[in-house]
Amino acid sequence: MSWLFVVGIVVFFFGLLASIALHELGHLSFAKLFGVRVPQYMVGFGPTMWSRHTGETEYGVKWIPLGGYIRMIGMLPPRKDDPEGMLRASSTGRFQTLIESARGASLEEVGPGDEDRVFYSKKWWQKVIIMFAGPFMNIVLAFVFISIVVMGIGVSTYQPVIGEVAKCTIPAAQAGRDCSASDPATPAVQAGLRPGDRILSYDGHKISSYDKLQGLIRASGGRTVAVVVRRGGQTLDLSVPVTTNQMQSLTDPDKTEKVGFLGITPTNARERQGPGMVVSTMSDLTTRTFGSLVNMPKKMVGVWNAAFSDKKRDPNGPIGVVGASRIGGEIAASHEPGLDKLAFFLMMLGTVNFAIGMFNLVPLLPLDGGHILGALWEGVKRGVARLTRRPDPGHVDVAKALPLTYAMAAVIITMGALLIYADLVNPVRLNG
């Protein structure tokens, strides 16, 4: 294990901790802006490692660095027929006892003068902003990291410049073997193409990107095509007898198709892109993250199978803090150029932050999205009451959802533990 690997793990881990801290800072900032009293701001869970009181809030770090929280007073409202900030005795069923116990714990910190400083008393839109501010901070961080990579460092893209010329035509199914005497020379060899040649035009079409060139090559099988290249300071006109080959499909990697074949490999270079590429990247990331959340149960079955058998871990499946930090170590220890390492590192941090933000917006308690849904429902009920001139329905009692909340919390904790175990015994690796 190299020292770079360890450094990468530590740096990425603390990058994730900083992201968690900023997530909670988003909640804290707007809670204080709207006058909610916040007794605690903590990064981590479990026993306190370090803390300091500033004003009415205790800021600290706990020993288990797997999340964070802020504690706002009055997260759960009293029942409608209870005096403000007080609870009457209850001796109903098991779930009701659980709900009232949690309600009492939520209200025990509410003291004289705190009536307007409890979370449940705030306007519905203020509650939405407070709870949305945390995930929004992660989404902003993702946008910043991805923007730095796309517009600052540049995106690694294939160029219409020849990097290598294949000597012979080998079907995709036999890729990797050496040429034999019976294998025909590639069209690139026959035409005299060389590494370093920049293709300016192909079959009369001006070439501005490798993607365009690749599409034209695949569509020109069986024809002799005019190709203009720049070699050194010269411009050369060549005729290339394009053949056909069984190649991997561009739309479905599991399939092959018979297409035009030239026998060249493009060079790879970083190019800075504009804001449009950032928006496109964020859009693609949103689609992929949403799909991952929808398929999370199925993906977790795959994690379970990989953790307790010799099955290969899905590289596109979920990973935990341990697994993500380990990938950070692999990035740091790789032989890639420093700029490529930095770009990969920042893109990973951006992707993880975006996933954290989107996951927290799932409309189920105890996630932020569950509180947002409750606040929105309160706004709808009050809006309808105003329109129909009915009495104000009051606060939405999210405490009634506590049995489901505890069940969801148990699922999240179990998923987190499984991911940590899988990341230790069968981690996702960059090189497969």
Neighbour tally for 43: CB within 10 Å:
21
Could you confirm whether 24 is annotated as catalytic?
A: yes
- Stronger pLDDT, 312 or 289, i.e. the higher one: 289
Give tens-digit pLDDT for 6-24. 888 888 888 888 999 999 9
Q: What angle do CA 242, 243, 246 make, to 5 degrees?
A: 135
Identity (one letter) of the amino acid at 248? Q
For residues 378 and 394, give the distance between their C-alpha atoms in angstroms, rounded to a whole number. 8
Element at 18 (helix H, strand E): helix 3-33
Residue 146 has a pLDDT of 95
Q: What is the pTM of this model?
A: 0.79
List phi, psi (to 5°) of 178: -80, 160
Radius of gyration over every alpha carbon of the chain, rounded to an integer in angstroms: 29
Fold of 156-271: Pdz3 Domain (2.30.42)
Catalytic position from the list 24, 100, 330, 378: 24
Report domain extents, the chain: 1-34+122-154+274-432, 156-271
Report CA torsion sign: 168, 171, 177, 183.
negative
**63-88: buried (b, 16+ CB within 10 Å) or exposed (e) per residue?**
eebbbbbbebbbbbbbeeeeeebebe
| Whether residue 251 has pLDDT greater than 80 | no
| Whether residue 104 has pLDDT greater than 80 | no
Q: How confident is the model at residue 88 (pLDDT cuts 50, 70, 90)?
A: very low
Residue 323 has a pLDDT of 84
Give tens-digit pLDDT for 130-175. 999 999 999 999 999 999 999 999 888 888 899 988 888 877 667 7
- Asked if 278 and 153 count as a contact pair (C-beta separation under 8 A), the reply is no
Q: What angle do CA 178, 210, 432 make, to 5 degrees?
A: 55
Preceding peptide of 366 cis, ω within 30°: yes
Q: How confident is the model at residue 87 (pLDDT cuts 50, 70, 90)?
A: very low
Beta strands of 23-143 (E only): which ranges?
A: 40-54, 57-71
| Whether residue 209 has pLDDT greater than 80 | yes
List phi, psi (to 5°) of 314: -70, 115
